[in-house]
């Protein structure tokens, strides 16, 4: 629900895009034989010294080397196929990135060969991303998935706004557009967001689902579009929105179930009660001032949007009397 910063990991992830992903596209295009030993790059005139340094770094990882060789064979084996397929892949890759950069997350699924999907989602995202020593050799900077998550500097799950994020290391990195359907976006910083375990799960969260049209939290503060209602009869909290993208977001994240639970109802009810008591001591003209101060103290914490809405609603109703 909170709006998250686009800048948190932009620079480092874009270096990965330029120096690894684009370089491997080039390698797939230029190479005529698979790699047996990394010293073979020394004589290769197709690549600059920096590119050779990075290729050596990549091919030092045996599992990754085997997979890249497999992809190269896949390209070489079919005549005339390599250039065409590489051109198509690059076109999709750049197109999808461009759309996300424009804030458009309503993309259609395009079929990508499993061997390429695996390179992005398994070898880049699950394997290389995690390896501290790889990043160190690659850009001489301390970096890994853990640091990626910390860089967001958030204290609560950006999706549900219910789970505190003090243990940010335990949170999962979600692909807003699932990597099973959009593998080429596996390492794109505008598709990666740290979230709580529950929002990440298939049963209680979004899993690999997509719903269109949808907004992304890199561009929208979705929480401000949601209306909250404290149901005192049934001891639960309801939420709704009149905006289609927000409604879809609520459905995708199963937020209604998340807010219906007793502990959230109790928390909100008790905070609203204290707010009401404080309010009853003051004069109506000062309500707004008191409200702003209270809300400010909840900013960036869990249930911020629910409190923001409910407290405001309370003041409005009180003023009507
Ligand atoms: Zn969550």
Distance between Cα 297 and ligand 1 center (Å): 21
Distance between Cα 232 and ligand 1 center (Å): 24
Task: State mean pLDDT over 104-110.
Answer: 98
Task: State mean pLDDT over 25-48.
Answer: 89
Rounded distance, CA 45 to CA 22, Å?
17
pLDDT at 41: 84
Distance between Cα 84 and ligand 1 center (Å): 42
| Spatial CA neighbour of 291 closest among 299, 280, 279, 274 | 279
Distance between Cα 199 and ligand 1 center (Å): 4
pLDDT at 320: 53
Per residue in 181-210, pLDDT tens? 999 999 999 999 999 988 998 888 998 999
pLDDT at 168: 65
| Spatial CA neighbour of 12 closest among 154, 141, 116 | 141
Scanning the structure block, which residue is given the tokens 């991303």? 129
Per residue in 33-44, pLDDT tens? 899 888 888 888
Distance between Cα 306 and ligand 1 center (Å): 14
Confidence of residue 166 (pLDDT cuts 50, 70, 90): low
Rounded distance, CA 204 to CA 207, Å?
8
Distance between Cα 201 and ligand 1 center (Å): 10
The pocket of ion ligand 1, defined by CB under 5 A, consists of 157, 159-160, 163, 196, 199
Per residue in 249-265, pLDDT tens? 999 999 999 999 899 99
The answer, yes or no, to whether residue 32 has pLDDT greater than 90, is no
Q: Give the burial class of 183: count Cβ atoms within 10 A of its Cβ; 0-12 exposed, 13-18 middle, 19 or more buried.
A: buried
What does the CA dihedral 151, 154, 157, 158 come to, rounded to 10 degrees?
Answer: -90
Distance between Cα 162 and ligand 1 center (Å): 6
Per residue in 225-256, pLDDT tens? 999 999 999 999 999 999 999 999 999 999 99
Average pLDDT of the residues of the chain:
93
pLDDT at 171: 87
Q: Give the burial class of 107: count Cβ atoms within 10 A of its Cβ; 0-12 exposed, 13-18 middle, 19 or more buried.
A: middle
Task: State mean pLDDT over 274-278.
Answer: 91
Task: State mean pLDDT over 160-185.
Answer: 87
Per residue in 292-320, pLDDT tens? 999 999 998 999 999 999 999 999 887 65
Distance between Cα 79 and ligand 1 center (Å): 48
Distance between Cα 98 and ligand 1 center (Å): 27
Decide if 203 contacts 175 (C-beta within 8 A): no
Distance between Cα 228 and ligand 1 center (Å): 17
pLDDT at 163: 79
pLDDT at 39: 83
Distance between Cα 269 and ligand 1 center (Å): 21
Per residue in 52-72, pLDDT tens? 999 999 999 999 999 999 999
Distance between Cα 4 and ligand 1 center (Å): 14
Distance between Cα 45 and ligand 1 center (Å): 50
Distance between Cα 139 and ligand 1 center (Å): 32
Distance between Cα 165 and ligand 1 center (Å): 9
């Amino acid at each position: 629900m909170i709006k998250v910063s686009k800048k948190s990991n932009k620079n480092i992830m874009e270096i990965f895009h330029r120096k690894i992903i684009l370089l491997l596209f080039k390698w797939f295009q230029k190479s005529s034989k698979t790699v047996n030993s990394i010293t073979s790059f020394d004589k290769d005139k197709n690549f600059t010294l920096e590119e050779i340094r990075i290729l050596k770094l990549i091919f030092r990882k045996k599992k990754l080397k085997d997979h890249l060789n497999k992809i190269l064979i896949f390209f070489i084996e079919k005549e005339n196929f390599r250039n065409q397929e590489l051109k198509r892949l690059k076109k999709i890759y750049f197109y999808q990135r461009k759309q996300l950069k424009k804030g458009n997350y309503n993309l259609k699924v395009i079929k990508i060969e499993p061997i390429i999907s695996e390179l992005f989602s398994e070898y880049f995202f699950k394997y290389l991303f995690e390896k501290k020593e790889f990043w160190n050799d690659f850009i001489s900077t301390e970096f890994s998935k853990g640091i990626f998550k910390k860089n967001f500097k958030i204290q609560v799950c950006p999706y549900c706004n219910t789970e505190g994020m003090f243990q940010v290391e335990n949170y999962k990195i979600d692909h807003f557009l699932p990597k099973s359907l959009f593998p080429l976006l596996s390492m794109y910083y505008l598709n990666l967001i740290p979230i709580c375990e529950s929002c990440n799960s298939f049963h209680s969260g979004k899993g690999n689902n997509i719903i269109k049209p949808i907004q992304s939290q890199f561009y929208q503060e979705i929480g401000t579009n949601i209306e909250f209602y404290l149901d005192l009869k049934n001891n639960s909290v309801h939420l709704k929105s009149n905006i289609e993208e927000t409604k879809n977001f609520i459905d995708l994240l199963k937020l209604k179930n998340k807010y219906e639970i007793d502990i959230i109802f109790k928390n909100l009810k008790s905070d609203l009660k204290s707010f009401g008591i404080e309010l009853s001591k003051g004069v109506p003209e000062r309500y707004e001032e008191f409200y702003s101060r209270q809300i400010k103290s909840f900013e960036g914490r869990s249930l911020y949007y629910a409190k923001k809405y409910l407290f405001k609603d309370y003041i409005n109703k009180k003023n009507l009397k």
